[in-house]
Chains A and B, each alone.
Chain A
Amino acid sequence: MSGNHTIGEAAIRAGCKCYFGYPITPQNELGEYMAANLRRAGGVFVQSESETAAINMVVGGAATGARVMTSSSSPGISLKQEGISFLAGFELPAVIVNMMRGGPGMGNIAPAQGDYYQATRGGGHGDYRTPVLAPASVQELADLTMEAFNIADRYRTPVMLIGDGMMGQMKEPVVFPEPVKEFPEKKWALKGRGEGPSRYLASLILDGLEMERHNWKLVRKYQEIAERETRYELYLMEDADFAIVAYGTTARICKGAIKRARREGIRVGLIRPITLFPFPTKVLQEIAHRVKNFLVFEMSTGQMVDDVKLALADYQVDIAFHGRPGGVIPTPLEFARVINRHYLRMKK
């Protein structure tokens, strides 16, 4: 199954009731899948007039307690940022998929990872963060899509699933988890006041001290997410004296490159962040006790490398970077050569 269809099927199995979206390549197959299959499953599909409208429909759907999602690609995700900021302020759960493409501006439709800063730093205005999940296989797209809904509900937060055209369009075998039957109770959801007191959801907090309290409350939530939800994969790291850090599509390419490099006797392994926020800082620090050389690969001019540097600021380690921005897909051979070059430098 293709990655984009897989996200759709996983979302339906996760109990996603509403999908709101606007077409943009390279994620159109997801909206198309939802138009056919979510509606058939009794859910709601609306092709909105813009990404701005879509994310605000998400706000409305989420406020009623339904599991809701939207998807887009880089330029459309930029348009959604105001709405994501409101979701964070309201503390509403929702899943947002970004199949990144080359940029800035219209850029192109090829795979790229230039939206790392936007995704992990909040993206919209104000003091907030969004958990970001970065799958690297179709199976992981299925698993993490379902997990995204759980994390969103558990912490009442928008969650972003991030990939690119390669993730969305490639086909791999996938085993879907059973459909979710039981959902967490959402006492906060707006269902009309009924016999009880009326309630409201507002992000407007005019009193400075009260707004500050709300900001710190969000921070505590993000700390809890960091403690409980940080995910990563270690690949051939047991005996490694050289660590690659990469996520998503780039991490897949790295695995090929690492196999090549290992054939030449280079003991290199991969640290693959699966959550980009929270970033797997602790595992990087543990590894930095024995590994002194790090090489970060990204399909960008260098964004995640900043998080690696932040994580290892107090460690005497060397952090190198190699990037291919703009929608250029590097080959395992190219990465293997880069690994080789850095390895030789490292051994001097």
Chain B
Amino acid sequence: MKLENQWPKYYKKNVVTHYCPGCGHGIVHRIIAEVLEELDVGKRALLVCPAGCAVLAYHYLDIDVIESAHGRGTAIATGVSRANPDLFVISYQGDGDLSAIGTAETIHSANRGENITVIFINNAVYGMTGGQMAPTTLLDQGTTTSPLGRNAALDGYPLHITDVVAAFPGVAYAERVTVATPGGIKKTKKAITNAFQTQIEGLGYSIVEVLSPCPTNWKMTPLQACRWVVEEMSKEYKPGLLTDKREEKRKLKA
């Protein structure tokens, strides 16, 4: 088999990645490209990329992309999807983006049941700005703005935003996965496939939360970072299906 054939159609060739070694973003980009091809929606896809390490997603994904102001991805995705319902709309967001500054947009786009897919990269820090505390930072986790570790009394608790939106009637599909192990990556691909299919069928909002290593800001090697996702992050944020109302929604549609 020629290597050429394995290159996903919607992943640009001959590009040098700006992501750090061991970063989860690149893995998720590749999965998105693969699933777009497998479900044949790449030609009508529009991805909204966030303020965050993935701001340059259009350097890699060979589909139409619009950049978002910090946190406003799902508002832009709402505008895109309402103005042109034929487009396949993905909002790609980090945890600072989605669960701090963009919380209102996250909650309300989910509550309206917008027919969009949200890919939520949870790396428990603000990656791009240098590793500050995020709403998702674990208790006792050290970051540049929680140097002694996150202190619940002063900094609040890790925010489980995907669990919150999963409870909404407008949210058809929500799953939490990791890209820290080969098994996790497989499950991630399955979850993203389900989420994309939800949108293709017009069943409403779908979200996949990906627990994703940020070795640079966690001050770990890529291997240690993967281990930390499995051993620490996954304890706070349990991977698994959070909601699947697709059958119910299909019946409603029929």
Contact = CB atoms under 8 A, between A and B. Distances in A.
Contact of B72 (A56, A62, A64): A56
A171 B42 CA distance: 50
Interface in A1-60: 17-18, 20, 44, 46, 48-50, 52-54, 56-60
Band of interface residues on B = 35 or more
Contact of B75 (A17, A48, A200): A48
* Shortest beta-carbon contacts, A-B, top 9: A60-B79, A56-B75, A57-B79, A192-B44, A200-B58, A60-B76, A61-B83, A56-B72, A49-B108
A192 B65 contact: no
Nearest to A83: B69
Contact of A195 (B43, B55, B66): B43
Contact of A191 (B42, B64, B108): B64
Nearest to B62: A198
Q: Counting chain A CB atoms within 10 Å of each CB, which of B77, B79, B88 scores highest?
A: B79
Max chain A C-beta neighbours (<10 A), residue from B46, B63, B105: B46
Contacts of A64: 46, 79-80, 83-84, 87
A49 B156 CA distance: 25
Interface in B31-70: 42-46, 48, 55-56, 58, 61-69
A48 B80 CA distance: 14
Contacts of B112: 46
B64 to A, nearest CB: 5
A193 B33 CA distance: 14
A22 B54 CA distance: 30
Given A190-B80, A195-B43, A201-B67, 11 more contacts: A18-B82, A53-B78, A56-B69, A59-B69, A59-B76, A60-B75, A61-B80, A63-B46, A86-B69, A191-B44, A192-B86
Nearest to A199: B64
Nearest to B111: A49
B29 to A, nearest CB: 13
Contacts of A77: none
A191 B65 contact: no
A226 to B, nearest CB: 28
A63 B105 contact: no
A68 interface: yes
Contacts of A53: 72, 75, 78, 104-105, 108
A192 B80 contact: no
A18 B85 CA distance: 12
Nearest to A89: B67
